[in-house]
Structure 1
Amino acid sequence: MIRREPTVIGLSPEDLAELEEELEEFKLQREIKAQQRNLQRSATVLAEADLLESEAPVRDDTTHESPLQKPLGQQAPHRPPSQSVNAGPHAPRSNPFFSQQ
């Protein structure tokens, strides 16, 4: 494998100073953007927390709430299966879309 000589760039002290200034400016801009993102995130988190606090009802009781809004103490009386609502005489099941031939 043939290797060539490395390319040498001749920079004047003014060029180096300018590059260093651009690098410093780039770093500062990147830091400012990161701080802005952090501020936006923290503002969003605080706004969401305030929203949750204002919407969440304060509950003193620790009982379970039924999705049907029924109190826990009022439940239907327990019946044996022979007396259940579904245990009556059944008509034969018929499917209007199915015919046996």
Structure 2
Amino acid sequence: MANIKYFSDVTGEAVQLKAPYGMPNEEFAARWPGIKGLRYDGYSMRVGYPTSGTSGVMPVTRMIEYKSQPSLHECNAKCLDGKHNGKCECRCGGKNHGFGMFSGLLKAA
């Protein structure tokens, strides 16, 4: 069985999140204007709390399926440019999976 890991990239670095829940669409848009998060259902977006630190709720921007018996290979371009909702089995634990999309946008800005 695979594990689902949730990440937020709004600060420019990948932050792993825990206890995801749904926040109403209007509140989400008011707190994070311009951020495209992941839907919880038709009326709310996914948000969660960082696994470490004391900061408050953050939007979920990536949801990665981490295999239960990963190969633990080194991250490469396939991992960094993978889907933001794909599967991962790298040593990073899903932290870098799909992050190439966000880092490319940050460099362009």
**Scaled by the length of structure 2, what TM-score is found?**
0.17
| Structure with the larger strand share | 2
Kindly indicate whether structure 1 or structure 2 has the higher relative contact order, using CA contacts under 8 Å at least 6 residues apart: 2
Q: Which has the higher helix share?
A: 1
Q: TM-score, normalised by structure 1?
A: 0.18
Higher Cα radius of gyration = 1
